[in-house]
Amino acid sequence: MAVQPELTALPWGRGELRREARGGGRRIAILAFGTLLYPALAAAEKLDATVANMRFIKPLDTELVLSLARSHEALVTVEEGCLQGGAGSAVLEALQAAGVNLPVLTLGLPDEFVEHGDPAKLLAQLGLDAAGIEQSILKRFGAKLELVRPAING
């Protein structure tokens, strides 16, 4: 792996788009928090979904969240943290505060004890590897990614 000669500072509280949907539209946007960025990118390749590397939970990049909500039919949050009170909850609160009603799937750790062991095996067991993320999205939105309503305009 090559090392970049110059490092640049990350903008505080700002996420970044890492992949934009290429094919039949911008149906699903995956908001990845922390270590699940790469599994989210792998799942997005198969689903042709947009992926945002959210980087921060606090402060949450609400501008990016709302932009993705306006241009997509549904959002999916993925995090290696508890769902209750986690990044997905923060996204839902931001959408609610802005008056945005959009289907959101939150993926993360259950609110229970998780066995210790090999991280890759545990993520797979919890459905937080690339295959699990893809399967959860297809289960929630259907094989053709049929959604509840069209994307928000404006």
Question: Can you give the residue range of the structural domain that contains 121?
Answer: 16-141
Q: What is the CATH number of the domain that holds 73?
A: 3.40.50.920
Amino acid at 1: M
Tokens at 139, concatenated: 């289960």
- Judge whether 151 lies within some domain: no
Indicate the Cα dihedral angle 26, 31, 37, 39, nearest 10°. -60
| Separation of alpha carbons 106 and 67, rounded Å | 18
Please give the pLDDT value at position 143: 62
Number of domains observed in the structure of the chain: 1
- Judge whether 126 lies within some domain: yes
- Judge whether 109 lies within some domain: yes
Residue numbers in the chain where pLDDT is lower than 70: 1-4, 24-25, 143-154
Please give the pLDDT value at position 11: 76
- Judge whether 7 lies within some domain: no
Amino acid at 3: V
pTM, two decimals, is 0.85
- Judge whether 55 lies within some domain: yes
Please give the pLDDT value at position 10: 72
